[in-house]
Amino acid sequence: MEWSTTKRGRPAALYKGYSYVFHKELKTLEGVSVWRCPKRNAHSCNACIYISGDDVFRDPQPAHTHTENWGEIGVKIIVEKAKKAPCKDPYEDPQAIWD
């Protein structure tokens, strides 16, 4: 699982080719939060995962109503790594960020 942010700066979880946005903390299980598929309205997708810390507590239920988007997820992961990587030399080879 990877972490990212939405266009509006909210936290997003990236898991198995899908992204999820925070929905709520569970009152019955301390430290467990519910994350929903952001395509809930566009694709009538009700899939959600339960996260405890950095671990997925329960895989997506129900199943997504759309296919995963590894390309979009890959771009989000790369952008997040680039944001966190220090830029010492503006002319540095971009590949150096990942090494």
Domain boundaries, the chain: 2-97
Please tell me the CATH code under which domain 2-97 is placed. Answer: 2.20.25.240
Q: Could you list the mean pLDDT of each consecutive 10-residue stretch along the chain, which spans 99 residues?
A: 84 89 90 91 89 85 84 79 70 65
- Answer whether 5's CB lies under 8 Å from 13's CB: no
pTM for the whole structure: 0.71
Rounded-to-integer distance, Cα 59 and Cα 13, Å = 13
CB within 8 Å of 29: residues ≥ 6 apart: 50, 52, 57
Give the Cα separation of 11 and 26 in Å (integer): 17
Edge to edge, the sheet with strand 55-61 lists 2-5, 11-15, 18-25, 32-36, 48-52, 55-61
Report whether 10 contacts 85 (CB < 8 A). no
